[in-house]
Amino acid sequence: MSFLQAILDGLLIGGVYAVISIGLTLVYGVMGIVNFAQAEFLTIGMFVAWFAWAFLGLDPVLAAPLSFAVAFAIGWVVQGQLIARVLSAPSVAQIFLTVGVLIVIENGSLLLFGSQFRSVTTSYQTMSLSLGALFVSVPYLIAFSMSLACGIALWWFMRASWFGRAMRATAQNPSAARLMGIDTELMYKIAFALGVGLTAFGGAVILPYVTVFPGVGGQFVVLMFTVVVLGGLGSVAGAVVGGLAVGVIQALSSLFFPIQLQNLVLFIVFILVLAVRPQGLIGASR
């Protein structure tokens, strides 16, 4: 029973890992840039949702679209004004730029909001559903469902909408895409803004069970990279598989080992997977 419970908890947590990591893989997949500042947009999303809760009385889950919108706008500007300049620069320049953005956002939020923890109080925070002998945590379930909905919306956008097709075309071959009349600059802006927006969305939905402070992104950044590399860098489906896998591995490991070794077990599995399949669980098919 505890085994089933662990798998269930792992899947619920993993769904959220997936949605915050999709953004990272999307940006890499379309633009070939590794955005080290990605986790900071999680922090931004959480802060937006917190302020919406504190001043507008909005439930963080309902504030998630607002978090998405704010991060989308910031992402649009960051891409247009900063990232666009280093798209064809050496990758060292790209790394420095995104790390710089990371430092600016983290310290900017420290200046603006101070370093204290902010947590929300919601009615469902301490509720759970009983499934036989299994407990389904309501905040985890809500976060998972929101992530799932968000993932499906993204999948539809990428598959069925003109913008999605144009974005995939840009990822495949930017020159050919331009020849077909696609504004690749615009596509890059949408891809980046969408990517950071998704991460911010994930930040808002986890707010009922994670307190926000300027350094909170740092607690997730390594996990995010693990998720996308495990799944296959650049692959959206890979991020989903990777996210669920990371959640389940963490939960199962705590059944057999002390919880402190959770990430040790995770990284041993991670190294083994990469040794056998360097391209990740789902190949890097963009």
Partner 1 sequence: MSNNKSLGLAHLNRRAMLSGTAAALAAPYIVASARAEAPPVNVGVILPLSGPNAQFGINSRNGIELIADEINTAGGIAELGGAKINLVMADATSTPTTAGTVAQRLITQQDMTAVLGAFASSLTIAISEVTERRDIPLLTMSFADQITGRGFKNIFQVVAKASVIGKAQFEYTAAIAQAAGAKIEKIAIMYEDTAYGTAQANGLRAGAKAANVEVVMDDAYPLGITDTTPLINKLRGSGAQAVFPVSYLNDSLLIIRTMRQQKLTIPAIGGAAGYVIPDFEKGLGEFAENVLSIDTSNYDLAPELTERFRKRFGYFMVHEALEHAVCLEVLVQAIKKAKSAKAEAVTAALRGAKFTGGWINGMTGGAVAFDQTGLNVLSVPLMVQWRGKDIVTVWPKDIAKSAPVWRS
Q: What are the residues binding partner 1 (CB under 8 A)?
A: 2, 5-6, 9, 13, 110, 114-117, 119, 121, 125-128, 135, 137-140, 209-211, 213-215, 219-220, 250-251, 254-255, 258-260, 262
CB of 14 to partner 1, least distance (A): 11
* Residue closer to partner 1, measured from CB, 1 or 179: 1
User: What DSSP letter does each residue of 148-182 carry, written as one string?
Assistant: HHHHHHHHHHHHHSHHHHHHHHHHH-HHHHHHTT-
Instruction: Output the CA torsion sign for 16, 144, 274, 6.
Output: positive
* Residue closer to partner 1, measured from CB, 28 or 51: 51
**How much is the CA Rg of the chain, to the nearest whole Å?**
19
Whole-angstrom CA distances from 249 to 87, 145, 242 are: 35, 20, 10
CB of 251 to partner 1, least distance (A): 6
Cβ within 8 Å of residue 228, ≥6 positions away: 21, 24, 25, 28, 238, 239, 242
The DSSP element (H or E) to which 213 belongs, if any, is none
d(CA 273, CA 145): 28
CB of 54 to partner 1, least distance (A): 11
Which residue, 201, 166, 171, is CA-closest to 181? Answer: 166
* Residue closer to partner 1, measured from CB, 28 or 140: 140
Q: Which two tokens stand for residue 11?
A: 């899947």
CB of 243 to partner 1, least distance (A): 14
The alpha helices in the chain, defined as continuous H runs, are 2-31, 38-56, 60-78, 84-86, 91-113, 138-160, 162-172, 174-179, 184-206, 218-231, 236-256, 262-276
Which residue is listed with tokens 């909001």?
113
CB of 137 to partner 1, least distance (A): 5
CB of 223 to partner 1, least distance (A): 9
CB of 236 to partner 1, least distance (A): 24
* Residue closer to partner 1, measured from CB, 136 or 169: 136
CB of 186 to partner 1, least distance (A): 36
* Residue closer to partner 1, measured from CB, 2 or 81: 2
Q: How far is CA 218 from the centre of its chain?
A: 13
* Residue closer to partner 1, measured from CB, 172 or 219: 219
* Residue closer to partner 1, measured from CB, 100 or 215: 215
Cβ within 8 Å of residue 138, ≥6 positions away: 124, 125, 127, 128, 129
* Residue closer to partner 1, measured from CB, 215 or 278: 215
